Structure 1
Amino acid sequence: MSVRPRALVYGDVDLNLIDGSAIWAQGMVQALARAGCAVTLVLKAPVRTGRLVDPLAAIKGVTVRRPHEEGRVEGGAGMTAKQAVRVLTEIDEAEPYDLVVIRGRRLAGKLAHSPLRGRLWTYLTDVPQSAPEFDGNARGELTRIAEASRFLLCQTEELRCFLEAAVPATAGRCVLFSPVVVLPDGLSPQDRTPPDGRPLRLVYTGKFAPRWNTYEMTGLPRLLAARDVEAELHMVGDKVHDDPKDPNFSRRMRTALESGDGVVWHGGHPRAEAMRLTAGCDIGLSWRHPDMDASLELSTKVLEMGALGVPVVLNRTPMHERLLGADYPLFAASETDVVEALAVTAREPETYALAAERCRAAAAGFSLDAAADRLRRYLTQAFPEPSEAILRASRDGGRKLRVGVAGHDLKFFTRLLDYLKSRPDMEVRVDHWSALKVHDPERSQELVDWADVVICEWCGPNALWYAEHKRPGQRLFVRLHRFELYSGWPQRLDIGAVDKIICVSPHYGDLTRKMTGWPANKVVVVPNWVDDTQFDREKLEGAEHHLGMIGIAPARKRLDLGLDVLEQLRRDDPRFMLFIKSKLPWDYWWIWQREEEREHYDQVFRRIRRSPLLAGAVVFDSYGRDVASWLRRIGFVLSTSDDESFHLAPAEGMAAGAVPALLPWPGAETIYDPRWIHADPAAMAGSIAATVREGRWEDERRLGRDQLREAYALDEVCRQWTVLIAGEQM
């Protein structure tokens, strides 16, 4: 990037205390700096100890702002959310930042209405993590936060998928930012063996709280002694929680830390020293109350211990199984499980070595370099390089190109619009029509008077209006979909006033020229985009036996042919299932009012109920924007339509690592490789069965993903739009 982005970082975090949120602040600042940002960290609380702040202030390109010392905040307590909003806004006003990274839901909710709106990179952890916890207030607040954020940074894939399902506005904005593990200088993973002739050293670092089982941990040396295992427990930290539900916890916890048998309390230490103490121990503890098994967050402490080669006792959860393997030997649910696992591991070198290696391998994917690489990708997406060709295309050379976008429904243009708005060489305004034929003529005229380029999404009444009112020298682009081609509007369009008609596939480009008689050079093809980075997610177990269809209405989508495929597959392998993500036909009034449509679906649903091969094998999932997370379970995406202009579903499936399977609707071969197109449902079923049976599914889905990235990835389609808007040859 030619200009170093300026990042402002603030978390609802007290850096005088060592806990997971403080470690997040350190990792975020370090990763942003390594990714090429000039970073300003704003502290929540006055500095009482520099053990966490001083190492950050020493990093080149990092500035630490101390609002209390600067006189911006009175008193010695940490800033409230309201104070933080004021302080961050004041600091930004002096010299605006390109991105503002924040942590804390309450703070984010307030910043959603601030001048920082649109530049927020919000790190979400403190959100309801189960569906019953979501009420209208929580969903509304998270929707406002999502709409105000450029990115929502999610610690885990589990959290990202949950948010996308619970809060539709988060879909497409959620990206992964995993915990960052940075080993202090002088520390590195070491080969380890169980202790021979000395006590087993257990270690815990962090806060002391009831659900973290820290009080129960202090009894482990005594319980292990009863199993003839001599052990000592090293505890590092100074943050003891006062729990309203257990008023005596703090007193009990401190007593155990100070006088428990076999307990060595080291108190609070800088993170580097805490990790050195950890490195001197044999086994780490991250055993928590079962209430926390549903957490969608991953403990940074587990990863830090793994990076040091220290195996960790922790709860068995799906997330931990994916991280360490289902056969990891130090999973534990109860105190009895913990003691048993520790006793076995202490006596069996092979078991100890396996646990240590699993933890070390898992932590390797959470390095500072990996975090910086991820942030560089997000920075490149958020801040594209300027283009000399774009600047030359502006009416007044040297200023930004003025681009207007007009339409009643921009759902197929959203990410392109985000891209245009992010470009440093463009200024973008939107004329959002309230309905297909309804708009504010004064607002539309203002756009005509202002813009160098106007893009009409849909070749409808909006395109007719702008073609009639455009200024001389102003360029007009119209994006045409299948719907408009048969509507009569193209025949009324003054094609002489239009610079380019954009179609999404070669077949519909040819059909448009044929049906309208427009000059061939006026019609160009720029394909639909797929945000391949959003769809690139780890598959769930069993996906290779799961077929998927996205959208089954109207009848021309031919769900009946998809059922033919499923029935044939299940004759030989009952593991195959069909998942359908769609609105149902009666949800569309314009479909359900047609008798032939109702008859078609009556037959389809009757067949699903009555067919022995289909019973229990067809799953209907709610329509929604969480397609990327839904596709994690899908191994093959079917396209059985009578006709399509592009059909995005197979492309999205390819981006998600599913194999596309299409019937030969007109023009399919101009969009998708013929290897994915089958003559009929029987041929499609045969190909799917052979792909799975012969162990070719992994290779086929990798090939599909590579093809998608080359042709329809968001970056590539944005590049083509940039060339088009600049007036260069495609």
Structure 2
Amino acid sequence: MTAEGPRRPGPRAVVYGDVDLNIIDGSAIWAQSMTQALAEAGCEVTLVLKAPVRTPRLVDPLTRVPGVTVVRPHEEGLLPDLGERLTPEQAVALLARMDAERPFDLVVVRGSRLAERAAAEESLRGRLWTYLTDVPQTLSGLTPDAVAGLTAIAHASRYLLCQTEELRCFLEQAVPAACGKCVLFPPVVVLPEGVAGPGQADDPLTLVYTGKFAPAWNTLEMTELPGLLGDRGVRAELHMIGDKIHGSDRDWAKKMRVALESTPGVVWHGGHSREDALRMSAQRAVGLSWRAPELDASLELSTKVLELGALGLPVVLNRTPMHERLLGADYPLYAGADATSVADVLARARDPQVYRRAADACARAAADFTLGRAAERLRGYLDRALPALSGRNAALPSEPLKVVVAGHELKFFTRLLEHLRSLPGVEVRLDQWTGFNDHDEPASRALADWADVVICEWCGPNAVYYARHKRPGQRLLVRLHRFELYSEWPKRLAVEKVDAVICVSPHYAELTRRRTGWPAEKVLVVPNWVDTEQLDRPKLPDAEYALGIIGIAPSRKRLDRALDVLERLRRTDPRFMLHVKSKLPWEYWWIWKRSEERAYFERVFRRIQRSPELSGAVVFDPFGPDVAVWLRRIGFVLSTSDDESFHLAPAEGMASGAVPVVLAWPGADTIYDDHWVHADTDQAAAAIADTVRGGRFDAERELGREQVRAAYALEGVCDRWTELVRGTAPAAAARA
């Protein structure tokens, strides 16, 4: 073995969608583009087909992509008793068997039934990248069974791939287990080389629709358009590309076929490969993606809209919030509910200025959905899921490094634990204590005997236990929070057995040294992590008037100071509101049993009711992990506490594009730039007002986003923990 040790090979990915690639529709196009994007991102990709190849239009192009292998279970006889298509159970059994023969780094699946079955396959857990589309997208559809199924999928998946921000936010609010796992993978646009639209309306006006024919897609109503445009003096042709007529209504299907075959002005081209369909579309002037109103609430984005836009064609489509975010509220080709309104819109599209505006808007929107952009997204997800070791961490040991993480509450350590588990050459086991002082002693003793490195999250009884049972040569790392520093447990810890005590801020590291007398070189600083990628989402309208505070109990969080800031702002601008995301104080028994805490909160809530400036201006939102969704509406995140060890909320706000407003609690200036730290509530309110009135909101939030990425991004903090676990961290850097 060389001095540097073995290197990790390129990621191995397997893709299986519960879709038939003989039928050209959005789901089949997904399978093709996902395979292409993974290959472009550097993966060795295996695509497993659901059905025997009858039409090679989508499969053949993939066989020519370097690094892609297409597996044909029917033709290759890989399973007994195969029907016309693989069932979800058969597909998962085949994936598990292939994985056992040669393991995959990621298993990409699409289809809710398939995903539930894959989530139940123990051997695939943690490596599933589940693409979610055919899931409930309304509150009425979120039955208990649906939520239970999505929860199981989320627990088993490394990532949940969501097509749109709207779908991601909906899932995170409905399924707590999805929070932190949902990432964006929007449609991918791959165009044949040298293909572009005409760039202007023609005569006759040529329209194009590609895809499946189905009632909700308004394909039957589209066939009326040449006639309706003729009534307006506009010659028009409608070109329809596709060969699959959907729908259980036989009468409708018959009408659809008759309309395709015999309607004047309608040209039906039948089914074609994706590339040929795009070439044919590029010869037309305007694309159609007009659907029935019941699809307006869909949280999915049409691939066809993006493909047509990339070709340079303007597209007629429904006005929805998602489409307004994509194309702008003033996009000129939004259609109404009936074919007459579509004909009116198309007649206006003949105006060269209207046509150019619409075509340019569609082209700009499509630019973020290229194959290159998709591969870039995937490389980012791969780097996080399969972190490559570099620098001091490049050498892999000949034997796995055995790491135990022990603690009763790991909510502050979840992503670090996830990172450690993903490291090559590291085996991680968890000692989950049932309470602060309760655990399975035989299991803990066995883990203590097994581990090379023990990480104790919280400096409590767990740290005392593992210090007592530490073996020679074993490394013990203890992470200390504010809570334990003021408890009895640091006094009971045999610190001479501890290799490092990790604090999250310089201020609390210094406090720890002073209060405990522990050797200064053992007390290190590694900050809390902020998942800057997850939190960086588009703000909702009027976010600059929304103040936010996360966690208001106990009283030292000082909700009253946040109310002071709000009152001062609303005296001159009643648009300001305060949003509180927190458990309420009576939900914490250990807080509510204290009379001084009850008295404080009674005063605060009475004040909210009685103050003219506060009444109706404070919104209480449920406590939960959907912080990234909640922060989309927040423009300023307040930190008004008497004291904090770190206070993650302002940093999370910064990552979301909100402006931090921090009152000067002890040590705040060692975590946050002085620019964000204010002496009192008057100064804080004045800073908020000046930022909004002075038009500096966007500049300030961009500054905050840059700072938090540089200081507290998850990737950097994970690197520090990797060094600590492997014993390669420079002590001076950790103490800084």
Range class of TM-score, shorter chain: over 0.9
Secondary structure, in 3 states, of the residue corresponding to 1:721?
helix
Residue identity matched to 2:260: L
Secondary structure, in 3 states, of the residue corresponding to 1:250?
helix
Identify which of 48, 51, 55 aligns with 2:57.
Answer: 51
Secondary structure, in 3 states, of the residue corresponding to 2:296?
helix
Residue identity matched to 1:566: L
* Paired residues for 1:431-470 under 5 Å: 431-470=431-470
**Structure 1: distance between partners of 2:86 and 2:336:** 38
Q: Would you say 1:582 and 2:582 are equivalent positions?
A: yes
**Structure 1: distance between partners of 2:12 and 2:83:** 29
Residue identity matched to 1:192: G
| Counterpart residue number, 1:289 | 292
Identify which of 178, 183, 189 aligns with 1:170.
Answer: 178
Distance 1:388 1:451, change over 3 A: farther
| Counterpart residue number, 1:5 | 11
Q: For residues 507-526 of structure 1, what are the alpha-carbon distances to aligned partners after superposition, in whole Å with 9 as ceiling and x for unaligned?
A: 11111111111111111111
* Paired residues for 1:85-96 under 5 Å: 85-96=92-103
**Structure 2: distance between partners of 1:214 and 1:75:** 34
| Counterpart residue number, 1:34 | 40
**Structure 2: distance between partners of 1:616 and 1:577:** 9
| Counterpart residue number, 2:241 | 236
Secondary structure, in 3 states, of the residue corresponding to 1:242?
coil
Q: Which moved more, 1:334-343 or 1:525-534?
A: 334-343
Give 1:727 deviation, angstroms: 2.0
Distance 1:2 1:86, change over 3 A: closer
| Counterpart residue number, 2:527 | 527
Residue identity matched to 2:199: R
**Structure 2: distance between partners of 1:432 and 1:7:** 32
**Structure 2: distance between partners of 1:340 and 1:608:** 52
Say whether the 8 Å CA contact 1:389–1:726 is kept in structure 2: no
| Counterpart residue number, 1:200 | 205
Distance 1:692 1:291, change over 3 A: same
Q: Would you say 1:476 and 2:476 are equivalent positions?
A: yes
Residue identity matched to 2:360: E
**Structure 1: distance between partners of 2:201 and 2:574:** 47
| Counterpart residue number, 1:124 | 132
Say whether the 8 Å CA contact 2:15–2:45 is kept in structure 1: yes
Say whether the 8 Å CA contact 1:27–1:182 is kept in structure 2: yes
Q: Would you say 1:276 and 2:283 are equivalent positions?
A: no
**Structure 1: distance between partners of 2:586 and 2:264:** 68
**Structure 1: distance between partners of 2:19 and 2:304:** 17
| Counterpart residue number, 1:60 | 66
Give 1:186 deviation, angstroms: 2.8
Give 1:230 deviation, angstroms: 1.1
**Structure 2: distance between partners of 1:517 and 1:362:** 60
Q: For residues 199-249 of structure 1, what are the alpha-carbon distances to aligned partners after superposition, in whole Å with 9 as ceiling and x for unaligned?
A: 111111000111001111111111111111111111000110132xx3411
Give 1:425 deviation, angstroms: 2.1
List 4+ stretches of structure 1 deviating above 6 A. Answer: none
**Structure 1: distance between partners of 2:363 and 2:347:** 21
Residue identity matched to 2:530: V
**Structure 1: distance between partners of 2:344 and 2:392:** 68
Secondary structure, in 3 states, of the residue corresponding to 2:233?
coil
| Counterpart residue number, 2:3 | none
Unaligned stretches of 5+ residues in structure 2: 1-6
Give 1:726 deviation, angstroms: 2.4
**Structure 2: distance between partners of 1:537 and 1:283:** 32
Residue identity matched to 1:374: R
Give 1:387 deviation, angstroms: 5.4
**Structure 2: distance between partners of 1:383 and 1:343:** 53
Say whether the 8 Å CA contact 1:534–1:628 is kept in structure 2: yes
* Paired residues for 1:669-708 under 5 Å: 669-708=669-708
Say whether the 8 Å CA contact 2:198–2:282 is kept in structure 1: no
**Structure 1: distance between partners of 2:679 and 2:279:** 64
Q: For residues 171-216 of structure 1, what are the alpha-carbon distances to aligned partners after superposition, in whole Å with 9 as ceiling and x for unaligned?
A: 000001110000012313x461221xx2111111000111001111
Unaligned stretches of 5+ residues in structure 1: none
**Structure 2: distance between partners of 1:636 and 1:673:** 16
**Structure 1: distance between partners of 2:721 and 2:320:** 45
**Structure 1: distance between partners of 2:67 and 2:349:** 45
**Structure 2: distance between partners of 1:158 and 1:521:** 48
Residue identity matched to 1:235: M
Q: For residues 411-452 of structure 1, what are the alpha-carbon distances to aligned partners after superposition, in whole Å with 9 as ceiling and x for unaligned?
A: 100000000000002111111111111111111111111111
Say whether the 8 Å CA contact 1:390–1:725 is kept in structure 2: no
**Structure 2: distance between partners of 1:61 and 1:656:** 37
Residue identity matched to 1:172: G
| Counterpart residue number, 2:221 | 216
**Structure 2: distance between partners of 1:242 and 1:403:** 55
**Structure 1: distance between partners of 2:143 and 2:606:** 37
Give 1:72 deviation, angstroms: 2.5
Say whether the 8 Å CA contact 1:449–1:471 is kept in structure 2: yes
* Paired residues for 1:606-625 under 5 Å: 606-625=606-625
Say whether the 8 Å CA contact 2:201–2:286 is kept in structure 1: no
| Counterpart residue number, 2:545 | 545
Distance 1:532 1:572, change over 3 A: same
Give 1:2 deviation, angstroms: 4.9
* Paired residues for 1:10-409 under 5 Å: 10-73=16-79, 74-75=81-82, 77-114=84-121, 115-188=123-196, 190=197, 192-195=199-202, 198-243=203-248, 246-335=249-338, 336-346=340-350, 348-386=351-389, 389=392, 398-409=398-409
**Structure 2: distance between partners of 1:612 and 1:388:** 59
Secondary structure, in 3 states, of the residue corresponding to 1:41?
strand
Give 1:290 deviation, angstroms: 0.6
**Structure 2: distance between partners of 1:5 and 1:75:** 30
Say whether the 8 Å CA contact 1:391–1:399 is kept in structure 2: no
**Structure 2: distance between partners of 1:495 and 1:585:** 36
CA RMSD of aligned residues (A): 1.3
**Structure 2: distance between partners of 1:452 and 1:75:** 48
Q: Would you say 1:496 and 2:491 are equivalent positions?
A: no
Q: For residues 598-626 of structure 1, what are the alpha-carbon distances to aligned partners after superposition, in whole Å with 9 as ceiling and x for unaligned?
A: 11111111111121111221111111111
Give 1:472 deviation, angstroms: 1.2
Say whether the 8 Å CA contact 1:386–1:425 is kept in structure 2: no
Secondary structure, in 3 states, of the residue corresponding to 2:442?
helix
User: How many residues of Structure 1 are paired with residues of Structure 2 in the alignment?
Assistant: 721
Say whether the 8 Å CA contact 1:201–1:281 is kept in structure 2: yes
**Structure 2: distance between partners of 1:525 and 1:285:** 57
Residue identity matched to 1:321: E
**Structure 2: distance between partners of 1:388 and 1:439:** 38
Q: For residues 522-576 of structure 1, what are the alpha-carbon distances to aligned partners after superposition, in whole Å with 9 as ceiling and x for unaligned?
A: 1111110001110011111111111110111111111111011011111111111
**Structure 2: distance between partners of 1:714 and 1:446:** 31
Report the TM-score when normalising by structure 2. 0.96
Say whether the 8 Å CA contact 2:198–2:283 is kept in structure 1: no
Give 1:592 deviation, angstroms: 1.1
**Structure 1: distance between partners of 2:182 and 2:393:** 30
Q: For residues 356-408 of structure 1, what are the alpha-carbon distances to aligned partners after superposition, in whole Å with 9 as ceiling and x for unaligned?
A: 1100110011000000000001111111123585587x9xx521211111001
**Structure 1: distance between partners of 2:311 and 2:542:** 34
Q: Would you say 1:511 and 2:511 are equivalent positions?
A: yes
Residue identity matched to 1:691: T
